[in-house]
Amino acid sequence: MEIPSSLVQKAVDEIAQLPGIGRRSALRIVLHLLHQPKDFSSRLSSAIATLRQQIRYCNTCHNISDAEQCNICANPMRERNIICIVEDIRDVMAIESTGQFKGLYHVLGGKIAPIEGIGPQQLTIDALIARVEQENIDEIIFALSSTMEGDTTNYYIFKKLSAFKLRFSAISRGIGIGDELEYADELTLGRSISQRIPFEISMKRSEWLTMVRGD
């Protein structure tokens, strides 16, 4: 696709690097921007620059935040004895949208995936252990995907925290222990949180599914 303007070409090249956007979509976005008032483009670029320069991550749960502590961790009305472990911030948003969970979160920043070079050291597992040591935590909820990487991460954390007097649970299998939380409808996701099951039972079910699938 030949573009007659090098300025448009450069903008298309940059926008096409965004996830889910091909070159044709990028071109449509660029042409759309050209038809908008100049101050719209200025506000957009300023918002993106400010985001990258000023966004922070919560010192406690590693969620995105405007300050040292996110709004959830800073809220005194949250149940501070329960931590829900999620993969990334999209899962926090999905669970929060249900209004069913009033505890705290811990964002791992990924899952253990040796093939991809991601080990426990690349995640915030040590910070989670420190929270359990320092805070009065009674329950850990696993809300990771039911993939091999998700199950491995769940089990690794379970073993690391097994010395503490904690209740371990997992969201119910209505959405497969966290599978695509951001795409689950709020009713199903809310029910899976409120009807969570003991982690040991979820592990047995996961092992059975693995045998059935032949993974």
pLDDT of 188 above 90: no
pLDDT of 191 above 90: no
Query: pLDDT by residue (tens digit) across 43-72?
Result: 999 999 999 999 999 999 999 999 999 999
How far is the C-alpha of 142 from the C-alpha of 156, rounded, in Å?
A: 12
Q: With bands split at pLDDT 50, 70 and 90, how would you rate the model's confidence at 182?
A: low
- The mean per-residue pLDDT over the stretch 178-187 comes to 59
- The mean per-residue pLDDT over the stretch 123-132 comes to 96
In a domain, 159, yes or no: yes
- The mean per-residue pLDDT over the stretch 117-140 comes to 95
Distances (CA, A) of 199 to 10, 15, 180: 50, 42, 19
pLDDT at residue 171, rounded to an integer = 83
Strands 104-107 and 139-142: unpaired
pLDDT at residue 186, rounded to an integer = 67
* CATH value at residue 209: 3.40.1360.10
- The mean per-residue pLDDT over the stretch 113-138 comes to 94
- Residues spanned by the domain of 163: 77-213
Q: With bands split at pLDDT 50, 70 and 90, how would you rate the model's confidence at 26?
A: very high
Helices (H), the chain: 6-15, 23-34, 38-54, 71-74, 89-96, 125-134, 148-161, 186-194, 199-213
Residues of the chain with pLDDT > 90, as a percent, come to 67
Distances (CA, A) of 52 to 26, 42, 46, 55, 128: 21, 16, 10, 6, 26
How far is the C-alpha of 124 from the C-alpha of 168, rounded, in Å?
A: 18
- As beta bridge partners, residue 118 has 113
How far is the C-alpha of 144 from the C-alpha of 168, rounded, in Å?
A: 13
How many Cβ atoms from other residues are within 10 Å of residue 93's Cβ? 14
Same domain assignment for residues 174 and 104: yes
Question: How many domains does the chain fold into?
Answer: 2
Query: pLDDT by residue (tens digit) across 94-118?
Result: 899 988 899 999 999 999 998 889 9
Same domain assignment for residues 107 and 46: no
Does this model's pTM top 0.95? My answer is: no
Q: With bands split at pLDDT 50, 70 and 90, how would you rate the model's confidence at 144?
A: confident
How many Cβ atoms from other residues are within 10 Å of residue 112's Cβ? 24
- The mean per-residue pLDDT over the stretch 11-36 comes to 95
How far is the C-alpha of 128 from the C-alpha of 140, rounded, in Å?
A: 10
pLDDT of 201 above 80: no
Strands 82-86 and 104-107: parallel
CB 177 within 8 A of CB 193: no
pLDDT at residue 208, rounded to an integer = 37
Bigger pLDDT: 146 or 9? 9
Same domain assignment for residues 136 and 185: yes
How far is the C-alpha of 5 from the C-alpha of 18, rounded, in Å?
A: 21
CB 61 within 8 A of CB 72: yes
Closest CA to 157 of 100, 197, 203: 203
Same domain assignment for residues 100 and 47: no
pLDDT at residue 1, rounded to an integer = 64
Same domain assignment for residues 92 and 45: no
pLDDT at residue 177, rounded to an integer = 43
pLDDT at residue 210, rounded to an integer = 43
How far is the C-alpha of 38 from the C-alpha of 158, rounded, in Å?
A: 53
In a domain, 61, yes or no: no
Same domain assignment for residues 121 and 201: yes
